[in-house]
């Protein structure tokens, strides 16, 4: 019962942060809006200045991106640590970020396309191919959690090496990669949100359904097999789910690597080792942290803003070190 109430409290906090994200402004000439104005812009658009309605619409897209990416990266982080049994793992360890970055700069280098939508589609495809390659390489060497980590690390290094070579030789690719790689919610249009949202929705459903199987894997491969678990199918489904979630979130917002690492530890500190609760808690905490850091980044750096990927590292790094100092990081 306490876990259910905790999830409800996180949901209420998340709703409050969504409203704050719609009301708080940043940048030159952009003012904060009252909550009354926000509600009127959403429900009675004719009664509000058209410029304010347009402003709320833009912030609505940004809030939707933050909400969906936070849910996706939180759940993907829990799945990654569960499948690799590594407390230091995040989706980037499986080559997701490297594959997405390689695809983005390759499209710019070869085709010359620089639109956010094309970049998002390319990043999603690159993340999916990278995840498939990591799974195939890992299974050629036994399909264990260790081989997953090793294959992901090797592929990430290889992908980033090629990406670096491209951006150092092409100015347009460098500009696009530099903007995309920082991890931000600003500057993305509604087409990016609608292009990635279906993948995140499907991934979240699969992630919530996979908690029981992660509990089975945590017993060890031999015990999981003895209890009837089909390890190959479980791992394939898990990697596909991580690719959907992390790939779509990375495609929409760029690589936000810190979130998937720290959120599962926060969830375990609250709900214990049961992945049926860790996954949904990680998703909710991920969305709360991402939106909170996005709003905080707007407030602290006025008249500009701090990208949410940078703000997450500034806030979350000390928090993780404090948890380590107090020895409150539960084992995976």
> How does pLDDT run across 175-203, given as a tens digit for each residue?
877 777 788 888 788 888 998 999 999 99
Mean pLDDT, residues 42-70 = 88
- Check residue 63 and give its pLDDT: 95
- Check residue 324 and give its pLDDT: 67
- Check residue 326 and give its pLDDT: 62
pLDDT higher at 304 or 267 = 267
Is pLDDT at 174 greater than 70 in this prediction?
A: yes
Query: Cβ-count burial of 283 within 10 angstroms (0-12 exposed, 13-18 middle, 19+ buried)?
Result: buried
Does 298 fall in a domain? yes
Mean pLDDT, residues 127-137 = 86
Q: What is the C-alpha to C-alpha distance for residues 264 and 279, in angstroms, rounded to an integer? A: 8
Cα 17 → chain centroid: 17
Q: What is the pLDDT of residues 80-109, one digit of tens each?
A: 999 888 887 888 888 888 888 888 888 888
Q: What is the C-alpha to C-alpha distance for residues 21 and 74, in angstroms, rounded to an integer? A: 19
CB neighbourhood size of 152 (10 A): 28
Does 330 fall in a domain? no
CB contact at 8 A, 104 and 180: yes
- Check residue 331 and give its pLDDT: 58
Does 87 fall in a domain? yes
Q: What is the pLDDT of residues 8-50, one digit of tens each?
A: 999 999 999 999 999 987 754 557 888 888 888 888 877 778 8
Does 179 fall in a domain? yes
- Provide the CATH number for the domain around residue 153: 1.10.3470.10
Does 53 fall in a domain? yes
CB neighbourhood size of 171 (10 A): 9
Band of residue 284 on the pLDDT scale cut at 50, 70, 90: very high
Rounded to 10 degrees, the C-alpha dihedral 33/37/38/41 comes to -130
- Check residue 45 and give its pLDDT: 79
- Check residue 113 and give its pLDDT: 67
Instruction: Give the torsion sign (CA, 2, 241, 145, 263).
Output: negative
Is pLDDT at 61 greater than 60 in this prediction?
A: yes
Q: Is 273 helix (H, G, I), strand (E, B) or coil?
A: coil
CB neighbourhood size of 136 (10 A): 12
Alpha helices per DSSP H over the chain? 2-23, 35-43, 50-84, 96-110, 116-140, 145-169, 171-181, 190-209, 211-217, 221-226, 231-253, 257-271, 275-300, 308-325
Is pLDDT at 323 greater than 70 in this prediction?
A: no
- Check residue 327 and give its pLDDT: 54
Is pLDDT at 330 greater than 60 in this prediction?
A: no
| pLDDT above 90 as % of the chain | 25
- Check residue 30 and give its pLDDT: 55
- Check residue 47 and give its pLDDT: 76
- Check residue 211 and give its pLDDT: 87
Query: By residue range, what is the domain housing residue 107?
Result: 2-325
Total domains, the chain = 1
CB neighbourhood size of 11 (10 A): 13
Mean pLDDT of all residues belonging to the chain: 85
Does 332 fall in a domain? no
Q: What is the C-alpha to C-alpha distance for residues 121 and 251, in angstroms, rounded to an integer? A: 7
Mean pLDDT, residues 62-67 = 94
Does 173 fall in a domain? yes
């Amino acid at each position: 019962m306490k876990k259910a109430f905790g999830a409800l409290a996180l949901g209420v906090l998340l709703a409050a942060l969504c409203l704050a994200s719609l009301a708080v402004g940043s940048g030159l000439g952009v003012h904060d809006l009252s909550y009354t104005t926000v509600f009127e812009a959403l429900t009675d658009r004719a009664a509000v200045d058209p410029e304010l309605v347009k402003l709320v619409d833009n912030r609505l897209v940004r809030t939707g991106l933050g909400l969906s990416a936070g849910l996706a990266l939180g759940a993907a982080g829990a799945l990654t640590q569960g499948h690799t049994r590594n407390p230091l793992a995040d989706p980037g360890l499986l080559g997701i970020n490297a594959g997405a970055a390689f695809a983005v700069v390759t499209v710019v280098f070869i085709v010359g396309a620089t639109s956010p939508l094309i970049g998002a589609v390319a990043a999603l495809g690159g993340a999916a191919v990278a995840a498939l390659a990591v799974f195939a390489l890992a299974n050629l060497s036994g399909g264990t959690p260790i081989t997953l980590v090793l294959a992901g690390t090797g592929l990430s290094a290889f992908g980033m090496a090629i990406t670096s070579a491209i951006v150092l030789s092409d100015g347009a690719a460098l500009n696009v990669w530099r903007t995309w790689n920082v991890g931000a919610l600003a500057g993305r249009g509604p087409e990016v949100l609608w292009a990635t949202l279906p993948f995140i929705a499907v991934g979240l459903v699969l992630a919530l359904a996979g908690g029981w199987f992660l509990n089975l894997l945590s017993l060890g491969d031999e015990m999981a097999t003895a209890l009837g678990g089909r390890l190959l199918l479980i791992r394939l489904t898990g990697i596909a789910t991580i690719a959907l979630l992390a790939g779509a979130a990375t495609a929409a917002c760029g690589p936000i690597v810190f979130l998937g690492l720290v959120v599962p530890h926060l969830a375990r500190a609250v709900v214990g080792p049961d992945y049926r609760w860790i996954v949904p808690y990680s998703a909710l905490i991920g969305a709360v942290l991402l939106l909170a850091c996005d709003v905080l980044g707007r407030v602290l750096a006025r008249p500009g803003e701090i990208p949410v990927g940078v703000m997450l590292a500034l806030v979350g790094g000390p928090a993780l070190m404090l948890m380590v100092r107090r020895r409150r990081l539960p084992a995976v």
